[in-house]
Structure 1
Amino acid sequence: MLNDPWFTVREIDKKTYAISELGHWEKVHSFLLLGDEKAALIDTGLGIDNMKRITDQLTNLPIDVITTHVHSDHIGSHGEYERLFVHEAERDWLINGIVGLSLEQIRQNTARDISIPVPESFDPNTYKPFQGQPTGTLIDGDTIELGNRKLTIYHTPGHSPGHIAVFDEAAGYLFTGDLLYDETPIYAFYPTTKPVDLVNSLEKLTRIPHISMIYGSHNTLGLTPEILDEVKHAVDYLRKNELVRFGTGIHHFNGLSIQF
């Protein structure tokens, strides 16, 4: 596998790669999926270093960037790619800037708790999240054909209004962005989040058939679908106890936690 000073590249299978930024406290993962005709890049990381350096080494196929949501740790290298897609509810965020987070806060989040040397090109004082026009917008139920590899888009709001999950039909891989991962809390406590939507979206994941593995955008790379049984329990527990609202704190379950 590629030896790179900033990115860690891991092969999920012969046509699927995780591109991770493990030297940063957020442990961000982006994913490159290769088809016969083109590739999809699910998110582009923090923007501390240039992800295109990696994808150029992994494929010469044309790349469609699929944005799980418009937060700075998912759109960092968007400016390096020509074809960008985002859910219609966050098109304006991509063009005009992320709502609800100040540039100062974003810079602090990006620059703190980094455990490996950053590239000389990175300056936290001038760092700005990508802003620009998407090539197209996505909605729930859209499919993206890569050539013998079909991806289905699920609109999963809550963490943000236009958050999506991406399902690789043939492999059974579900890429959940910031809706589902382990180790640190799933966030729905910002003003732009909606706890009720997040819980509904988690429930939506449990209804997707034939999932073989779940790939969230942070922490452990790859969770088995058994975690969805715990997601069902969490959804029921939070609703029954009327906890699905701002200010109820962090709720711990087996393999996941949620913060409102």
Structure 2
Amino acid sequence: MELFKVEPVIPGITRIKMPYVCSYIVKGSDRAVLIDTGFGYGDLRSVVDELIDLPYDVICSHGHPDHAGGNGQYDTVYLPEGEFELVKHGSKIETRHLTMNNVLRRFNKSFPKENFLPQGDVKYISYNEKDIFDLGGVTIRPVHLPGHTKGIMGFIIPELEVAMLGDACANPTLLNLDSSASIQEYRDALVKLSKLQNNFKVVLTQHNSFSEPIDVVKDNLYWAERILLNSDDRLAVRMSGKESFVARNRNIFHYRGNAGNLVYTSQSL
């Protein structure tokens, strides 16, 4: 299984694809950042060090094992202020191994535990929406988007007209986890994000196709509001080990909302 595949996205942004997930490198004239570290298998840092000839920081969007699992290769990592408890569990080898193999089970594959790197002794630095990462001609602007997790951040890069929304706004967005915020909180976050849409024309994510049409923002907002009105499709599924609901049934034609979808539980309401 190929662990790392590097591909350019646009000038200034590079994607490092890994099984099931990806990380991003963003470069300015003075500095760079690595956004998320994947599951923590293989030597991601060596790949990153080959690609970056500038000082760089590591920024995590949230504390789940597929995004913070490789943090142990670094002494210092920026983490959203609401994710410190989540990352303690998410960065454990046992959690990463279990999560990865739960994903691979659908393909009748598995991933050896010995491939995962140690958790490491990481110093986490808290950041929030007020913290702007200036890379020299390029700025990373965090946006708090509670939903997938309570502390998760998206990132707007206005100079490149890009929004890195990761797991915060995708198709579908998973809101059915123990760490998820409520549908109302997610709806409010998307209203805030909608007001910032003049800053970006491209949406990058970290699973499946690794990008979404820009309409994913308004369409996920549409489905969040439909859920709150009890007028979504409410398709019952079992996902992440619990009874969940899918807001948009893909087998039904819809005039609106086709660029988005939400997965949630009754506890999300």
Which category of TM-score, normalised to the shorter sequence, fits these structures? 0.7 to 0.9
Return the structure number with greater helix share.
2
Given candidates 53, 59, 65, the residue that maps to 2:52 is: 59
Whether 1:199 aligns to 2:187 is: yes
In structure 1, what is the Cα distance between the partners aligned to 2:4 and 2:114?
Answer: 22
CA distance in 1, matches of 2:50, 2:116: 26
Partner-residue secondary structure (3-state), 2:165: strand
Deviation at residue 161 of structure 1 after TM alignment:
2.0
- Aligned 1:164-179 pairs, distance under 5 A: 164-179=153-168
The one-letter code matched in structure 2 to 1:187 is L
How far has the Cα of 1:129 moved from its partner? 7.1
Residue 19 (structure 1) aligned with residue 12 (structure 2): no
Gaps (5+ residues) in structure 1? none
Residue 97 of structure 1, aligned match among 81, 89, 92:
89
Matches within 5 A, 1:38-53: 38-53=31-46
2-side partners of 1:214 and 1:126: how far apart? 31
Q: What is the 5 A alignment of 1:113-152?
A: 113=104, 123-124=112-113, 127=116, 130=119, 132-152=121-141
Moved more, 168-177 or 204-213: 204-213
- 1:54 shift after superposition: 1.5
The amino acid across from 1:215 in the alignment is L
CA contact (8 A) 2:61 2:154 kept: yes
- Equivalent positions of 1:206-221 (< 5 A) are 206-208=194-196, 209-221=198-210
Preserved contact between residue 181 and residue 220 of structure 1 (Cα < 8 Å): no
| One-letter amino acid of the structure 2 residue matched with residue 107 of structure 1 | H
User: 1:56-87, CA deviations, whole angstroms, 9 ceiling, x for partnerless residues?
Assistant: 12112122111100011001221222331011
Partner of 2:260: 256
In angstroms, what is the RMSD of aligned CA positions?
3.1
Number of equivalent positions: 244
What secondary structure does 1:180 align onto? coil
Change (3 A) 1:7 1:229: same
Deviations 1:140-160 (A, max 9, x none): 232111111111111112211
Give distance in 2, aligned partners of 1:159 and 1:125: 29
Q: Which moved more, 1:77-86 or 1:122-131?
A: 122-131
1:179 Cα shift? 1.3
Question: Displacement of 1:247 after TM fit?
Answer: 6.2
The answer to whether residue 149 in structure 2 is matched with residue 160 in structure 1 is yes
TM-score (ref. length: structure 2): 0.79
